[in-house]
Amino acid sequence: MPELYSTGVDFIDDLLGGGLQPGTLTVVRGATGVGKTQLGVSFANQGASEEGRRGIVIDLASRGDSQQHFQYAQRLFGWEMTDGQAQVRDPWADSFTRADYYSSFNYSGQRVVRDSMSDEQWRSWKALLNERLQAVVGHLYAHLVHGVRRVVIDGVEPFEQAGDSIQIELFEYLLHRVLRKRHDLVARDLYRGRWLEVKDAVEAHPYDCNEVSGLFLQTTPEVNIEDLISAQTQEDDLTTNATTIILLGRLRDGTKVRRAAFVLKNRGRHCSDDLAFFEVTDRGLEGVPA
């Protein structure tokens, strides 16, 4: 296992002292259009050269247009990203086919946060969440069995309280019940009614959850980098479980508005106090002089 996982973006790696720590959660915060998804796709793609397997993307979006994961992957890396849900009944079979991208809710045109829903709509979304949990857990488990070590979670709408977001509820379930959990315990929950039948296959296909890194892309109402830095940090699972928090925002510089990155937190490792300026180009996120 490498000491650090490169994000595939040089100036971000420099801010982090080399990259992200295996087995940890990283939260990337910033407004729409600032470059979060391109960073996420870059991190997933980097797995091909470092672990021999690209990462996967789980999109929790429920409204709006596609965030262009497929276009970024193809244009930046020649990666023909596949869409769909992995086989979950017997993921150890030779016929397993990976799915690079999985949309757990699909687009419904509605934000999945409590303050935008009636009581009836909220109950309907909660019921849908319960239906989808097993499918998403199975999708994740199948890919971890086959060597994936990078999981990118995208498409989360802004929220005031984490408890008011269906998307955050799903993510926290995946964090605690899959990403941070021993492989055989994940399988016991997933195959609860078939455990004796699948036990030997599970034991023959172990993986180390301490090698699995999650990159969580969070859209914020704050746009400017100063506002992101000074924004009150909520004490919720997303914040307290994150080893690293990266902020991507904008900064007015004379007659121009520039993009800037800042590492708010990198527990236990180097953490630069500098702003790193960057541009979004045809080659992805590229650092530029201050």
Is residue 96 over pLDDT 60?
Answer: yes
Is residue 175 over pLDDT 70?
Answer: yes
Q: For 117-153, what is each residue's pLDDT tens digit?
A: 677 876 776 776 777 788 889 999 999 999 999 999 9
Average pLDDT, the chain: 88
- What residues have CB less than 8 Å from 81, skipping those under 6 apart? 57, 69, 70, 73, 74, 100, 101
Tell me the pTM: 0.92
Mean per-residue pLDDT for 59-82?
86
Look at residue 63 in the predicted model and tell me its pLDDT: 63
For residue 106, what pLDDT band results from cuts at 50, 70 and 90?
low
Lowest mean pLDDT among 24-33, 35-44, 232-241: 232-241
Look at residue 1 in the predicted model and tell me its pLDDT: 57
Mean per-residue pLDDT for 46-57?
96
Mean per-residue pLDDT for 204-213?
96
Is residue 247 over pLDDT 90?
Answer: yes
Retrieve residue 247's tokens. 């902020």
Look at residue 237 in the predicted model and tell me its pLDDT: 60
Look at the block and give the residue holding tokens 């890919």: 143
